[in-house]
Structure 1
Amino acid sequence: MPSPYFGGAMAEIDSKYLDTFPAWLRSLGEDAEKLAELLAGEALSSGARESIAGGLNYLFKSLDLIPDGIDDIGYLDDAFVLRVAADLAAAADEGNDPNASRALAALANDCEVVREFLGRDYARLESYVKGLRKGAARGRSVADILGDAAVREDFLGDVRGFAKTYEAPSFSREEKNLIKLRAFFDAKLPK
């Protein structure tokens, strides 16, 4: 049986991911900063702010879905989580601030690519990202971040520091990277 990765529709779809994911890696720092700006303001609903704080806090988890040091794909889980968090925030947002809604929509719209790429595993990722609202990283829970102005400022400073020092890893246009990426999500996402 021929491999689905040579010729045909599968190769075209994978080519789209091989073009898209490196761009997401390059913009990860900027994406985190944009979400941090939204979190710093008061324009979004509490549910939207919880989703954003959970997604941003994921950047600092010591045990994330894909270890950051893995060549090519180590930060893609972070990029995926931020997009899912933005999608959840956009769904929870009451639309009171058109600028905030547009900023969320830019990342939330990318979530369709994540959904398509992960297929049936997308629901598990979305559930995982929802659960980040109750998690903590570096001793800071989402409730602490949202409920304490000093904790929030410290957290936002850490996000800005991450954004300034982040260097996008290379991402070679090899289908094996997509296979590895899918395998990590399949193995690591809670069932």
Structure 2
Amino acid sequence: MTDLDDRCLDTFPEWLRSLASDATDLAGLLASPESPEATRRSLAGGLNYLFKSLDLIPDGIEDLGFLDDAFVLRVAASFAAAESPELRDQAPALARLARDAELIAELLGGDYARLKGYVRSLEKGAARGRTVDDILSDEQVRASFMHEITGWASSYTAPSFSRDAKNLIKLKSFLSAKLPA
């Protein structure tokens, strides 16, 4: 195993354990009128991914099912932090998640650009019939979305993640096959 493998295998279980609180923290920034629109757009796209029926990796797949969600939130956070550097100091969770994206980039290599493109495209997509534009422009849609995130976070149970290098191979294979070119 490489040093990168060890770091990923040590880190990814924690990302799965913190996924609900990470989503809640980002939702708080999305709800804040102090957050610039570009930041809110990035966060809304990433958070809306939690409710997509067709994930990059289906949620039911043991060990891997929610890692794509954790990856998407971190990439969305990196966009939000880049768009609003002042928020990094005010929102430690945003800064931490944005920094975490560096490990994803290291793991995925050339496929990281494809993941970034995919996460950016989520800003134009929809989940459960709700677009990012709807979330940002309609107070009722946003309130419902925030309620849905809270409900999701309270019912989320972190899956196991075995410290097995084969999980990293499977993870990279899934993403390489599913990410748009």
- Over 3 Å counting, the alpha-carbon distance change for 1:61 and 1:14 in structure 2 is same
Q: CA deviation at 1:115?
A: 0.5
Q: Which TM-score applies when normalising by structure 1?
A: 0.92
Q: CA deviation at 1:66?
A: 0.2
**Are 2:81 and 1:90 equivalent residues in the alignment?**
yes
**Are 2:41 and 1:50 equivalent residues in the alignment?**
yes
Task: Output the amino acid matched with 1:24.
Answer: W
Distance 2:122 2:58 in 1: 17
Query: 1:122 is matched with which residue?
Result: 112
How many residues align? The count is: 181
**Are 2:174 and 1:184 equivalent residues in the alignment?**
yes
Q: Which TM-score applies when normalising by structure 2?
A: 0.97
Q: CA deviation at 1:45?
A: 1.1
- Over 3 Å counting, the alpha-carbon distance change for 1:66 and 1:96 in structure 2 is closer
CA-based RMSD of the aligned residues comes to: 1.2
Distance 1:134 1:37 in 2: 21
Where structure 2 has 5 or more consecutive residues not aligned to the other structure, the ranges are none
Task: Map residues 139-158 of structure 1 onto 2, 5 A cutoff.
Answer: 139-158=129-148
SS in 2 for 1:42: coil
Q: CA deviation at 1:103?
A: 3.2
Query: 1:161 is matched with which residue?
Result: 151
Where structure 1 has 5 or more consecutive residues not aligned to the other structure, the ranges are none
**Are 2:121 and 1:131 equivalent residues in the alignment?**
yes
Identity %: 60
- Over 3 Å counting, the alpha-carbon distance change for 1:15 and 1:42 in structure 2 is same
SS in 1 for 2:86: coil
Distance 1:106 1:96 in 2: 12
Task: Output the amino acid matched with 2:144.
Answer: D
Larger radius of gyration: 1
- Over 3 Å counting, the alpha-carbon distance change for 1:133 and 1:15 in structure 2 is same
- Over 3 Å counting, the alpha-carbon distance change for 1:84 and 1:97 in structure 2 is closer
* Post-superposition CA distance 1:137-166 (Å, at most 9, x none): 011000000000110000000011111000
- Over 3 Å counting, the alpha-carbon distance change for 1:96 and 1:27 in structure 2 is closer
